[in-house]
Amino acid sequence: MREKRIKTALVSVFHKEGLEKILTKLDELGVQIISTGGTHKFITGLEINALKVEDITSYPSILGGRVKTLHPKIFGGILARGHNEEDAAQLSEYGIEEIDLVIVDLYPFRETVASGAAEQDIIEKIDIGGISLIRAAAKNYDSTLVISGRDQYDRLYDHLDKNGTGFSQETRRTYAAEAFAVSSEYDTDIFNYFNRDEAIDKFRTSISESRMLRYGENPHQRGIFYGRLDEMFDQIHGKEISHNNLLDIDAAVSLINEFEETSFAVLKHNNACGLASRDDLTEAWKDALAGDPLSAFGGVLIANREIDAVTAAEIDKIFFEVIIAPSYNEEALEILKHKKNRIILVQKETELPGDTYRTVLNGVLWQERDTKTESGSDMETVTGKSPDKREITDLAFANKIVKQSKSNTIVLAANKQLIASGVGMTSRVDALKFAIEKAKGFGFKLEGAVMASDAFFPFPDSVEIAHKEGIKAVIQPGGSVRDKLSVDFCNENGMSMVFTGTRHFKH
């Protein structure tokens, strides 16, 4: 690949951190530096000679700094094709010097938006000159090297220190690709800010951070996670998090966020197989595990309170992949860390994004996150018999679980404990039958339990089956043209039923 040596560099950055050693090295290597405003002041403060852009363009920075580098003598020097005779002739005719290196750090638009700044301040952080310099230098990578972010400074310095000013075409092209990633993400942030009321039906997202996974859902599939996982968790122990771990962790966080009481949940394949709310965390764990001790093997555990030594000792009796909690005391960590591959995560106080999307066919489905959680006040009693206080508590408890389970779903619960569930079934009746069989298999009695459904009952068959097992109260969205059939059966058999008016399908 053709090597091009740097003779002239344009440096115009917002953040100066990490730049000093690069400037010093460029100066040592005899590279002429051109700069603007605050960057020029920073460079000369290091006792390094640098030309001002104004010295080249014969125009000052104008419009409050909005126009500094937008001039043919700058962009001509960046965009000139090194082996094009006509370009060379025009450079000579107009007295334009080639610029071989462009170092630009864009105005912090995203950070300004996140700070809650006024709109005018946000608008002023839309970089015009910088983004133009990046795109120009990246387009002309055959002749120009572009450095478009502070995360590239160490790599640039190492190259200059070891190899001098020569850069291969392949290297320049790599930096160009990274520059276009920077510019596209910047434009995405700006569009999403202007389109925050979603008046324009265009889908744009951009994530720079990524981590390569061992594999995807299966070993023969590649997998990458895009995002800042460290914003949500600190991993303090264990092996690398896998694709399937991430899916379970996502489901676990969504589920535990539904509960304010001290609660412990066990998940497998994105669904709860055990969950209990108790005054004591150890008791919550024991009752969550009792819901399905078989499925808990190799599962993901999550709690919404600090893990103490007593609870850790109980948890340590089974094999599991991941544990998540807001904190752990030192004794608990000593117990949990003795298995080297066990993933231990500290969950930070971070809100999940309000939007969700997934690829479907040759496109993307977008929707708002389901953030509606029903309480007793959202329950409309549609039967002659009303649920008592304990049943209302259990109905709300069961409905939270049903909301976070794969459809079709039936959840059976009693005394704030998940007794059993049937999830991901093609038939609601089958989901109920499976849940009943499972509950009995683990020794639970269903007399006095409650039942929750993610969607309405089109026929009374489910409540008929539930009644035979001793279930006394039912929560469902309602909305079927045949609702009356199920309501009538409940009235005739002393059951209570409440409607929430909200369906919670999850596919």
Buried b (16+ CB within 10 A) or exposed e, 210-224: eeebeeeeeeeeebe
Q: Is 257 helix (H, G, I), strand (E, B) or coil?
A: coil
Rounded distance, CA 333 to CA 346, Å?
11
Rounded distance, CA 326 to CA 60, Å?
54
Q: Are 409 and 422 in contact (CB under 8 A)?
A: yes
Rounded distance, CA 103 to CA 58, Å?
22
Cβ-proximal residues to 264 (8 Å cutoff; 6+ apart), any chain: 274, 275, 276, 281, 284, 285, 287, 288, 301, 302, 303
Angle (nearest 5°) at CA 32 between 26 and 34: 105
Enclosing H/E stretch for 395:
helix 389-403
**Is residue 317 flagged as an active site residue?**
no
Rounded distance, CA 12 to CA 473, Å?
68
Cα 264 → chain centroid:
23
Cβ-proximal residues to 204 (8 Å cutoff; 6+ apart), any chain: 188, 191, 192
**Is residue 139 flagged as an active site residue?**
yes
Find the catalytic residue in 159, 269, 286, 433: 269
Cβ-proximal residues to 442 (8 Å cutoff; 6+ apart), any chain: 290, 291, 292, 293, 420
- Pairing type for strands 320-325 and 363-368 reads unpaired
Residue 307 burial (10 A CB sphere; 0-12, 13-18, 19+): buried
Find the catalytic residue in 139, 237, 239, 286: 139
Nearest to 260 by CA among 106, 438, 420, 397: 397
The residues carrying an active-site annotation are: 139, 269
